């Protein structure tokens, strides 16, 4: 296998982008990535998207998006893994370049969620329809069950959950692409309306529109396109039972753990080598469970991590310096690519006030459903 680098990145703002279309957002992000690398052609394209058919009535995104950027004729494929679609698209693009099939491949993600669809019901299609959604258990309820299980097992508190939101809003307030560029307090989080107890509104990621794209090539060709390539050191993908009830413990995300094990082994690093991480905080409890499953903190110790400053900028392992899904936004198909972009910019030293000084190795973890799929990528500064 060839070594692979990211040589270009592009991203829209995330938010309620009422005046932007699915294809227009994709074109903006893709054109930005191509301009960043100074290229005018692609050998292949992977588009991460969860539910354009339900959100805006559009399927067959590969050829649509290729033609939108003047690349009709190239191999172009949509990749779907619920909210992990972007991460799965990045992994597919990595494999194509690493295998030698292609030299210049784009991995992109896009989602248009604010066009009138019943977002809760659309997202619920990523849960088990017979065992969960049919009985009214959509994702707020499922993650509430995860939170209750974590609380009962490890003593995690509602204030611990609130600190995750406070931390990520603090980071997101410094991100010009974030949907919510404002800070919140613990009191505001705990006083926000209940969604599915113990989860409140400010524990939850928003409904977002947006797109993101990265450009991959063999590492030995990267100097043609950029002076600051970032190497993909490892990749891992794993799944777990779709239904929460079929797992040994709702509080333990086995797919996250397994995908991380694969990525760490491939990269030749361990959790202690990670200096900055983006993890899938669709709900505050998700960040807590993910950092445990990734080995960034001990199992059961994730609840205190944000409150103690461990995962904040300046802490031992800064997590979600972009603001995470909570503050940056969560256009589901684009999220995994946006996470990768944050790590790339951190390793390039381009994150401004959010910069983790001296960061050389970073991790991005993207998750689908209630943890039924997880993709982990590990990146290194060249």
Asked if residue 270 and residue 341 are part of one domain, the reply reads: yes
The pLDDT value recorded for residue 116 is 84
Asked if residue 224 and residue 355 are part of one domain, the reply reads: no
What angle is formed at CA 57 by the lines to CA 54 and CA 62, rounded to 5 degrees? Answer: 100
CATH label of the domain that carries residue 370: 3.40.47.10
pLDDT over 70 for what percent of the chain? 100
Asked if residue 226 and residue 177 are part of one domain, the reply reads: no
Q: Are 335 and 106 spatial neighbours (Cβ–Cβ below 8 Å)?
A: no
Catalytic site includes residue 41: no
Catalytic site includes residue 83: yes
150, 171, 203, 330: the catalytic one is 330
* Residue-wise DSSP of 300-314: T-GGGTTTTTTTSTT
pLDDT single digits (tens) 12-71:
999 999 999 999 999 999 999 999 999 999 999 999 999 999 999 999 999 999 999 999
Residue that has been written with the tokens 């893994």 in this structure: 81
Mean pLDDT value across residues 80-97: 98
Rg of the chain, C-alpha, whole Å: 19
- With 90 as the cut, is the pLDDT of residue 286 above it? yes
Within a 10 A sphere around the Cβ of 103, how many other Cβ atoms?
16
**What's the CA gap between 60 and 77, in Å, rounded?**
8
pLDDT single digits (tens) 112-133:
999 888 999 999 999 999 999 9
Asked if residue 54 and residue 139 are part of one domain, the reply reads: no
Pairing assessment for the beta strands 194-196 and 199-200 based on DSSP bridges: antiparallel
Which among 354, 350, 302 has a CA at the least distance from the CA of 147? 302
Asked if residue 325 and residue 214 are part of one domain, the reply reads: no
CA atoms within 13 A on the CB side of 180: 23
**What's the CA gap between 220 and 73, in Å, rounded?**
26
Q: Which long-range contacts (CB under 8 A, 24 or more apart) does 307-314 make?
A: 307/159, 307/160, 307/163, 311/167, 311/287, 312/167, 312/170, 312/171, 313/170, 313/171, 313/354, 313/356
Residue that has been written with the tokens 């992990």 in this structure: 84
Q: Alpha helix (H) ranges present in the chain?
A: 22-37, 52-55, 61-68, 85-99, 119-124, 139-154, 158-172, 186-191, 254-267, 284-293, 324-328, 335-348
**What's the CA gap between 127 and 125, in Å, rounded?**
5
Mean pLDDT value across residues 349-370: 98
pLDDT single digits (tens) 232-255:
999 999 999 999 999 999 999 999
Asked if residue 138 and residue 62 are part of one domain, the reply reads: no
**What's the CA gap between 317 and 69, in Å, rounded?**
38
Asked if residue 285 and residue 142 are part of one domain, the reply reads: yes
**Could you say which of 215, 230, 245 is where a domain stops?**
230
**Average pLDDT score over the chain:** 98
**What's the CA gap between 99 and 93, in Å, rounded?**
10
Asked if residue 213 and residue 198 are part of one domain, the reply reads: no
Cis bond upstream, residue 198 (ω within 30):
yes
- With bands split at pLDDT 50, 70 and 90, how would you rate the model's confidence at 189? very high
Asked if residue 236 and residue 123 are part of one domain, the reply reads: yes
Asked if residue 68 and residue 101 are part of one domain, the reply reads: yes
Structural domain count of the chain:
2
CA atoms within 13 A on the CB side of 265: 8
- With bands split at pLDDT 50, 70 and 90, how would you rate the model's confidence at 101? very high
Range of the domain at 183: 119-204+232-381
13, 83, 282, 377: the catalytic one is 83
Asked if residue 48 and residue 135 are part of one domain, the reply reads: no
Asked if residue 148 and residue 51 are part of one domain, the reply reads: no
Q: Are 363 and 235 spatial neighbours (Cβ–Cβ below 8 Å)?
A: no
pLDDT single digits (tens) 143-181:
999 999 999 999 999 999 999 999 999 999 999 999 999
Structure token digits, residue 195 = 């969604």
Phi-psi region of 194 (alpha: psi -120 to 50; beta: other; left: phi over 0): beta
Q: Write down the pTM of the prediction.
A: 0.98
């Amino acid at each position: 296998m060839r070594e692979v680098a990211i040589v270009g990145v592009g991203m829209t703002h995330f938010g309620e982008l009422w005046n932007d279309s699915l294809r227009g957002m994709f074109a903006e992000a893709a054109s930005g990535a191509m301009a960043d690398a100074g290229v005018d052609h692609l050998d292949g394209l992977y588009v991460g998207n969860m539910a354009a058919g339900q959100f805006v009535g559009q399927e067959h995104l590969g050829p649509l998006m290729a033609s939108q950027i003047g690349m009709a004729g190239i191999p172009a494929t949509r990749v779907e893994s619920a909210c992990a679609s972007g991460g799965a698209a990045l992994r597919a693009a990595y494999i194509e370049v690493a295998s030698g099939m292609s030299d210049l491949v784009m991995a992109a993600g896009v989602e248009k969620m604010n066009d009138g669809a019943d977002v809760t019901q659309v997202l619920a299609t990523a849960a088990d329809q017979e065992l969960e959604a049919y009985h009214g258990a959509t994702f707020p309820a499922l993650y509430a069950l995860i939170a209750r299980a974590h609380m009962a097992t490890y003593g995690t508190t509602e204030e611990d959950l609130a600190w995750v939101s406070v931390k990520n809003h603090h980071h997101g307030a410094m991100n010009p692409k974030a949907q919510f560029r404002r800070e919140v307090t613990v009191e505001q989080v705990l006083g926000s309306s209940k969604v599915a107890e113990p989860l409140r509104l400010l524990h939850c990621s928003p409904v977002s529109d947006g797109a993101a794209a990265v450009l991959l090539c063999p590492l030995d060709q990267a100097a043609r396109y950029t002076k600051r390539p970032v190497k993909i050191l490892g990749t891992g993908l794993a799944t777990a039972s779709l239904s929460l009830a079929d797992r040994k413990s709702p509080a333990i995300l086995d797919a996250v753990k397994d995908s991380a094990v694969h990525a760490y082994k491939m990269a030749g690093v361990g959790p202690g080598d990670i200096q900055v991480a983006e993890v899938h905080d669709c709900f505050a409890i998700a960040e807590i469970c993910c950092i445990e499953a990734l080995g960034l903190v001990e199992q059961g110790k994730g609840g205190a991590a944000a409150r103690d400053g461990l995962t904040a900028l300046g802490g031992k392992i800064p997590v979600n310096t972009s603001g995470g899904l909570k503050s940056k936004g969560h256009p589901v198909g684009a999220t995994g690519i946006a996470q990768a972009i944050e790590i790339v910019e951190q390793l390039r030293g381009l994150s401004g006030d959010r910069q983790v000084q001296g960061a050389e190795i970073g991790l991005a973890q993207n998750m689908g459903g209630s943890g039924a799929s997880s993709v982990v990528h590990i990146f290194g500064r060249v």
